[in-house]
């Protein structure tokens, strides 16, 4: 009989995976160097990030089923190879000056690897920690938020010494090796596994029945969760994808100072994931989402008018904390609604909203910036979307008496 791994070792491996995958959120630090090196426009370089996020979301929608069927370790290893390879190809794209190779390598291949890698720890850890669903998923995706902070500090130091291509090569090798090592510990609990006797399982949000994806798709709650995640991501990613150039244009700071702002905001992205997920275990996921949406919406209307650098930083940090909090809280929201058995497949489909938002948010910012030479209108539109999200979240009610609703239950 195979030895059952320590669940905290599984959690640690999940955090490491998310940390490295989350480096994609530091893409803005590559934008200016690539534009200056090749004469590419802001929109052209930004589109690589848009492609990656799109394929990330689409792949996570499919990859959740693979985690349920093919095994978490196999999916995580595949993710390591693809994400590392995509980053290496980005280096080649810079070396030969090919924008299309950048799109294919970093955007498509890297995005597919990132999507497979992102969904796997979440689907696995929710099964290992039924007593701490919110906290452990928040811990895992906290790593994803910190990834941008890592790149925001590391890349500006590497670029002058190594150049753009070599920086991508270094990162690609690190991703390939470290992700492959972490994947070895990423396994689902064995059949019949039970919580350690020392663990205290809170029944507050316990779910006794699990629906399959067909059952979830027949419930209006699935579409509310999908739309709320789409709205929160669209708003947050619109800011993330342009935080560095926006700080330089609006606040008049240097590229290095803008990188520090990206670093601080990314730390809040990560810490917000842990905080809001922890709070959801106590207040409930619906209440936490209402707080997240209501509290950040006014900031999107005020941010373009800010003239103080420190106020700009504080508002950006809080917005990204809420952005990260949405990712951390949504897995538990889905489990509380649909049950844990098929969560990989169901939550993967919910994450498709991330892919759609990954296109909508950045391209909305890029298009409006190009036509108006200002980020103000796009940021205000994001605030309007958040208000719609408040209304949708208010309409959500947790399913009651699922068996009476005629839905097929999973065995």
142's tokens: 């906290």
CA distance 287 to 399: 16
| 377 CB burial (10 A radius; 0-12, 13-18, 19+) | middle
Max mean pLDDT among 82-86, 123-127, 194-198 falls in 82-86
Q: What is the pLDDT confidence band of residue 126, given thresholds at 50, 70 and 90?
A: confident
42-85 per-position pLDDT tens digit: 889 988 988 998 898 788 877 777 776 767 888 999 999 999 99
Average pLDDT, rounded, for the chain? 84
DSSP 11-76: HHHHHHHHHHHGGGGGTHHHHHHHHHHH---HHHHHHHHHHHHHHHHHHHHHHHHHHHHH-HHHHH
Of 394 and 191, which is predicted with more confidence? Answer: 394
Residues 128-173: tens digit of each pLDDT: 887 777 788 788 878 877 787 788 778 888 888 899 999 999 999 9
With 0.85 as the threshold, say if the pTM is over it. Answer: no
Q: What tokens does 44 get?
A: 């052209």
Rounded to whole angstroms, the maximal C-alpha distance in the chain is 65
How big is the chain by its Cα radius of gyration, in Å? 20
- Which tens digits make up the pLDDT trace of 253-286? 887 788 788 778 878 888 888 899 889 888 889 9
CATH number of 8-190+211-400: 1.20.1250.20
Output the DSSP codes for 290-326: HHHHHHHHHHHHHGGG---HHHHHHHHHHHHHHHHHH
What is the mean pLDDT of the segment spanning 94-111? 95
Give the residue carrying structure tokens 């298009």: 367
How is residue 316 written in tokens? 């950006």
Residue 211 per-residue DSSP state: B
């Amino acid at each position: 009989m195979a030895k059952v791994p320590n669940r905290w070792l599984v959690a640690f491996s999940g955090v490491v995976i998310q940390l490295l995958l989350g480096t994609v959120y530091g893409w803005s630090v590559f934008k200016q160097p690539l534009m200056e090196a090749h004469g590419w426009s802001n929109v052209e370089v930004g589109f690589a990030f848009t492609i990656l996020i799109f394929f990330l979301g689409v792949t996570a929608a499919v990859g959740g089923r693979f985690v349920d069927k093919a095994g978490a370790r196999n999916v995580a290893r595949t993710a390591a190879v693809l994400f590392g390879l995509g980053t290496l190809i980005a280096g080649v794209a810079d070396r030969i000056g090919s924008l299309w190779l950048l799109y294919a390598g970093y955007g498509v291949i890297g995005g597919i690897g990132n999507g497979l890698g992102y969904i796997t720890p979440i689907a696995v850890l929710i099964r290992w920690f039924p007593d701490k669903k919110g906290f452990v998923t928040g811990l895992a995706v906290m790593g994803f938020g910190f990834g941008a902070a890592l790149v925001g500090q590391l890349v500006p130091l590497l670029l002058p010494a190594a150049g753009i291509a070599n920086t991508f090569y270094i990162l690609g090798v690190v991703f390939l090796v470290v992700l492959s090592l972490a994947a070895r510990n990423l396994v689902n609990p064995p059949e019949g596994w039970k919580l350690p006797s020392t663990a205290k399982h809170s029944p507050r949000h316990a779910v006794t029945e699990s629906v399959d994806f067909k059952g979830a798709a027949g419930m209006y709650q699935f579409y509310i969760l999908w739309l709320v995640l789409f709205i929160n991501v669209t708003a947050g990613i619109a800011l993330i994808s342009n935080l560095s150039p926006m700080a330089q244009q609006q606040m008049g700071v240097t590229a290095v100072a803008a990188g520090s702002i990206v670093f601080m905001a990314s730390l809040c992205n990560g810490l917000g994931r842990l905080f809001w997920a922890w709070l959801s275990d106590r207040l409930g996921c619906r209440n936490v989402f209402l707080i997240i949406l209501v509290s950040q919406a006014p900031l999107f209307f005020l941010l373009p008018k800010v003239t103080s650098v420190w106020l700009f930083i504080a508002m950006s940090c809080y917005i990204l904390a809420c952005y990260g909090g949405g990712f951390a809280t949504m897995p538990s929201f889905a489990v509380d609604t649909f049950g844990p058995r098929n969560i990989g497949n169901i939550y993967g489909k919910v994450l498709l909203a991330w892919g759609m938002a990954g296109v909508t948010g950045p391209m909305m910012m890029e298009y409006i910036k190009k036509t108006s030479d200002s980020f103000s209108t796009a940021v205000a539109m994001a605030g309007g979307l958040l208000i719609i999200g408040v209304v949708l979240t208010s309409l959500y009610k947790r399913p009651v008496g699922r068996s009476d609703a005629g839905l097929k239950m999973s065995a």
